[in-house]
Amino acid sequence: DTYTVAFLGLGHMGGPMAVNLVRAGHRVAGYDVVPAAVDAARSAGVPVVGSVAKAVSDADVVLTMFPSGQHVLDAYRGTGGQPGLLALAAPGTMFLDCSTINVDEAREAAQLALGAGHRSVDAPVSGGVVGAEAGTLTFMVGGEEDDFHAVRPLLDVMGKRIVHCGAHGAGQAAKVCNNLILGVSMIAVSEAFVLGEKLGLSHQALFDVASAASGQCWALTTNCPVPGPVPTSPANRDYQPGFAGALMAKDLNLALNALHSTGVAGRMGPLAAEIYDTFAAEGGAGQDFSAIINDIREKSGP
Q: How far is the CB of 31 from ligand NAD (least distance, A)?
A: 6
Among 13, 46, 165, 174, binds ligand NAD (CB under 6 A): 13
> In this chain, which of 23, 25, 34, 208 binds ligand NAD, going by CB under 6 A?
34
Select from 103-111, 126-134, 162-170, 291-299 the region that touches ligand NAD (CB under 6 A). 126-134
Interface positions, 235-254, toward ligand NAD (CB under 6 A): 247, 250
Stretch that binds ligand NAD, among 11-19, 140-148, 177-185, 225-233 (CB under 6 A): 11-19
Radius of gyration of the chain (CA): 21
Q: Which long-range contacts (C-beta less than 8 Å, at least 24 apart) are formed by 143-148? A: 143/110, 143/119, 143/167, 143/168, 143/170, 143/171, 144/119, 147/94, 147/119, 147/120, 147/121, 148/121
The answer to the question of residue 205 lying near ligand NAD (CB under 6 A) is no
**Segment 156-175, which members bind ligand NAD (CB under 6 A)?**
none
Query: Is 135 near ligand NAD (CB under 6 A)?
Result: no
Number of alpha carbons in the 13 Å side-chain half-sphere of residue 50: 0
Cβ contact 185:217 at 8 Å: yes
CB 40 within 8 A of CB 15: yes
87 binds ligand NAD (CB under 6 A): no
From 39-47, 122-130, 141-149, 290-298, give the range in contact with ligand NAD by CB under 6 A: 122-130
Burial of 154 (0-12, 13-18, 19+ CB in 10 A): buried
Alpha helices by DSSP H, listed for the chain, are 14-23, 35-43, 52-56, 69-77, 85-88, 103-115, 128-134, 145-158, 170-198, 203-210, 218-221, 245-262, 268-279, 292-298
Does position 100 interact with ligand NAD (CB under 6 A)? The reply is yes
96 binds ligand NAD (CB under 6 A): no
Among the listed residues 21, 56, 123, 125, the single contact to ligand NAD using CB under 6 A: 125
Task: Report the residue number whose CB is nearest to ligand NAD.
Answer: 11
Which of 254, 243, 236 is closest to 279 using CA atoms? 243
Among 22, 28, 29, 37, binds ligand NAD (CB under 6 A): 37
- Residues at the contact surface with ligand NAD, assessed by CB under 6 A: 8-14, 31-34, 37, 65-67, 71, 75, 99-100, 125-126, 128-129, 247, 250
